[in-house]
């Protein structure tokens, strides 16, 4: 009954057609943690911030059941900072600023109390850092889920492939799946990527939903058609958090349960994009989440019986 989340805890400054923010709290592990917290507690966090990171935001994580024993605070350094601007269609964005700061030499130390974790979620980080986490665990978790991005495919492909070979579930977007495999067809891309080692591949397609592949099966989960997408930042991490949180809650790593986990992850992501940053993830109720999951059930439901 334990879940370890490793990833960035950061400051973001976001500009969308609907407005812009000052520096607000973001980072893959932050979104994953808040999202997963609606399904499973505690969440054991390994991450690093600088002395500029507000105490109140660490308190907020703790309130959501995030164990921050593994959160390193480097008093004399600055927190990772990312700034981006979304285009009018909200499907693409320009990165304006990336300041690695404390993330530049992040050494992910695993507290002894975090050992023997059953579930491991590796948020986007350098593949070397992700791999060192796996190597530092005395027992291999039942399920290792890994997120990454095109940046690492460009500058550290061999390191990335070494890490991918060690995980159970790889979660990337459609463009990344195409880049990693060299195949445009997502079916062919999935075959090549599964041949790299992972047993499952999740291909996130943003407003077009997500696909789950294993060697024999494929499942498609839609995204909920929304009136407005206010800010897509963190949607992929929120999806991953809902996915791994649901798996940790239900303790079932079958393909059938991964489908349900994807629907729950998609439901969480559909909340995330309704407000700036993590705001919409802070005060959800179980009923709100269940209603949203039901929206997905209704959206795809049709009556043609499976033979």
Class of residue 32 by CB neighbours under 10 A (exposed 0-12, middle 13-18, buried 19+): buried
Q: Does 15 bind a second copy (CB under 8 A)?
A: no
Question: Of 272 and 293, which CB lies nearer to a second copy in the complex structure?
Answer: 293
83: region left, alpha or beta (phi > 0 left; psi from -120 to 50 alpha): beta
For residues 267 to 296, the per-residue mask of contacts with a second copy, x marking binding by CB under 8 A and - elsewhere, is --------------------------xx-x
Question: Of 59 and 91, which CB lies nearer to a second copy in the complex structure?
Answer: 91
Query: Residues 6 or more apart from 75 whose CB is under 8 A from it?
Result: 50, 51
* Cα gap 130→122, rounded to integer Å: 6
Residue 201 CB-half CA count within 13 A = 31
Q: Does 151 bind a second copy (CB under 8 A)?
A: no
Kindly tell me which residue out of 22, 135, 216, 298 binds a second copy, with binding defined by CB under 8 A: 298
Site for a second copy in 206-265 (CB under 8 A): 208-209, 211, 217-222, 225-229, 256, 259-260, 263
Q: Does 197 bind a second copy (CB under 8 A)?
A: no
Kindly tell me which residue out of 139, 283, 285, 301 binds a second copy, with binding defined by CB under 8 A: 301
Query: Residues 6 or more apart from 123 whose CB is under 8 A from it?
Result: 5, 6, 7, 8, 27, 28, 29, 32, 147, 237, 240
Q: Does 184 bind a second copy (CB under 8 A)?
A: yes
* Cα gap 67→240, rounded to integer Å: 18
Question: Of 12 and 231, which CB lies nearer to a second copy in the complex structure?
Answer: 231
Question: Of 58 and 201, which CB lies nearer to a second copy in the complex structure?
Answer: 201
Question: Of 264 and 280, which CB lies nearer to a second copy in the complex structure?
Answer: 264
Secondary structure class of 171 (helix, strand, coil): strand
CB contact at 8 A, 267 and 157: no
Stretch that binds a second copy, among 39-47, 83-91, 105-113, 123-131 (CB under 8 A): 83-91
DSSP calls for 206-219: GGG-EEEE-SS-EE
The site for a second copy (CB under 8 A) is made up of: 88-90, 184-188, 205, 208-209, 211, 217-222, 225-229, 256, 259-260, 263, 293-294, 296-307
């Amino acid at each position: 009954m334990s879940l370890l989340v490793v990833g960035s805890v950061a400051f973001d400054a976001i500009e969308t057609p609907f407005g812009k923010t000052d520096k607000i709290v973001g980072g893959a592990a932050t979104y994953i943690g808040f999202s997963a917290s609606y399904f499973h507690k505690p969440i054991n966090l390994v991450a690093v911030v600088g002395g500029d990171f507000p105490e109140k935001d660490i308190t907020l994580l703790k309130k959501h059941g995030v164990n921050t024993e593994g959160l390193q605070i480097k008093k004399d350094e600055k927190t990772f900072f990312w700034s981006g601007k979304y285009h009018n269609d909200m499907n693409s964005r320009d990165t304006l600023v990336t300041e690695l700061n404390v993330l530049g030499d992040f050494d992910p130390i695993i507290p002894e109390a975090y050992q023997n974790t059953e579930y491991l979620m590796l948020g986007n980080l350098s593949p070397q850092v992700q791999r060192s986490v796996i190597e530092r665990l005395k027992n291999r978790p039942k399920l290792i889920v890994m997120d990454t991005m095109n940046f690492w495919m460009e500058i550290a492909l061999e390191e990335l492939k070494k890490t991918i070979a060690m995980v159970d579930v790889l979660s990337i977007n459609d463009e990344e799946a195409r880049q990693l495999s060299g195949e445009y067809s997502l079916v062919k891309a999935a075959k090549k990527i599964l041949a790299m080692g992972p047993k499952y591949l999740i291909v996130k397609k943003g407003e077009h939903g997500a696909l789950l592949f294993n060697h024999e099966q494929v499942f498609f989960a839609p995204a909920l058609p929304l009136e407005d997408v206010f800010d897509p930042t963190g949607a992929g991490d929120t999806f991953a958090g809902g996915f791994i949180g649901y798996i940790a809650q239900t303790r079932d790593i079958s393909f059938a349960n991964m489908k349900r986990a994807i629907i729950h992850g998609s439901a969480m992501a559909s909340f995330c994009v309704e407000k700036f940053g993590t705001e919409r993830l802070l005060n959800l109720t179980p009923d709100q989440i269940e209603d949203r999951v039901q929206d997905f059930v209704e959206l795809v439901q049709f009556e043609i019986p499976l033979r």
